[in-house]
Amino acid sequence: MPITFKCKTGEAYQIKILAELLTNNLKHGCFDVTDDGITLRMFDQPRRTLVDMNLQAENFALYKFKSGDKFCLGLNLNHFHKMLKSIKKKDSLQLFISSDTPNELGIKTIPKENTRVTTSGIKIQNIQNVDADVPLGYGKPVIVPSPDFQKMCKELSSIGSTNIRVKSRGFHIDFIADADGILKRKVRLGESDDSDDEETGDVAVNSYDATFTTDQFTRINKIAGLGSTMQIFPGTNELPLLFRSSVGSLGKISVYIKSKELLDKEMGVSDSDDSEDD
């Protein structure tokens, strides 16, 4: 069977978690496939969340690309995740496109014992992707164990607050939920060692205070299943909050989420642009 594209990895479980993270934020995915690897850079529909993913060819156990040019692998992400749901932790995964069926992505899941190989297919769709620029200008990140971030998301969403306030200073970051003043909870992640108080000037520059809807965190909490640690880059008046994690050993993913303040600011700019057009 002549192949246009094929890749194989022993980190099938990470791809399953990745697919769940993507489907929680995006309806469709336009994956750019090249000789160098697989990338995706897309906004969600309300343009509140930007996902930027890069899986490098050299990190796959097998990677073959026989197309002359890069191509967009357009997928319904809900369908893609559905096809990977049965994957267990030590399974392997093979993705392939045969030149006989160029409009279908083949998905082969192989258990560790190699006793039952399942092959599925999903239709490749034509998806238009609007080019998105990645925000630049971040300072140093707060590095946190991924399970701590996942626990924080669950703890804060459990008290029924519709918003989460994020405050950072120096090398720690606070996530604060307030359910109408009846229930409150704060979770601090990172290092809160303030022994170098003489550097207060630097710390003040790195302070951040913004508000997000709780569902923004609920939708991205699966990022915690992709690696053992993650980086959280506090935003600014101009920059969204950035979460970055490895995807197993295959590559990296960055998720940018815009605060209410940043969305309001953008809305104000677009309104003023519209009025100028009038």
| CATH number of the domain to which 70 belongs | 3.10.150.10
Q: How far apart are CA 223 and CA 221, in angstroms?
A: 5
- 176: in domain: yes
State whether 113 and 164 are in the same domain: no
State whether 108 and 217 are in the same domain: no
- 27: in domain: yes
pLDDT in tens, the chain (278 residues): 688 999 999 999 999 999 999 999 999 999 999 999 999 999 998 889 999 999 999 999 999 999 888 899 999 999 999 999 999 999 999 999 999 999 999 999 999 887 788 999 999 999 888 788 999 999 999 999 999 999 999 999 999 999 999 999 988 999 999 998 899 999 999 987 655 554 444 444 478 999 999 999 999 999 999 999 999 999 999 999 999 999 999 999 999 999 999 999 988 876 555 555 55
State whether 241 and 171 are in the same domain: yes
State whether 115 and 186 are in the same domain: no
Structural domain for 183, as ranges: 142-277
Domain count, the chain: 2
Q: How far apart are CA 21 and CA 195, in angstroms?
A: 38
Question: How much is the pLDDT for 204?
Answer: 47
State whether 100 and 221 are in the same domain: no
* Token code pair at residue 137: 């200008």
State whether 168 and 270 are in the same domain: yes
The residues pairing with 177 across neighbouring beta strands, listed in sequence order, are: 164, 185
- Of 65, 92, 123, the position where a domain reaches its end is 123
- 129: in domain: no
- 134: in domain: no
State whether 178 and 239 are in the same domain: yes
State whether 148 and 243 are in the same domain: yes
State whether 154 and 267 are in the same domain: yes
Q: Nearest Cα to 165, choosing from 229, 101, 235? A: 235
Question: How much is the pLDDT for 278?
Answer: 54
User: Going by C-beta distance under 8 Å and a sequence separation of 6 or more, which residues neighbour residue 184?
Assistant: 159, 176, 177, 178
Query: How far does Cα 233 stand from its chain's mean position?
Result: 14
State whether 92 and 149 are in the same domain: no
Nearest-5° angle of CA 271, CA 133, CA 190? 100
- 137: in domain: no
- 152: in domain: yes
State whether 116 and 146 are in the same domain: no
Q: In 3-state terms, what secondary structure has residue 149?
A: helix
Question: How much is the pLDDT for 275?
Answer: 54
- 132: in domain: no
Question: How much is the pLDDT for 273?
Answer: 55
State whether 164 and 269 are in the same domain: yes
The predicted model scores a pTM of: 0.90
- 131: in domain: no
For residue 64, CA distances in Å to 56, 58, 96 come to 12, 11, 9
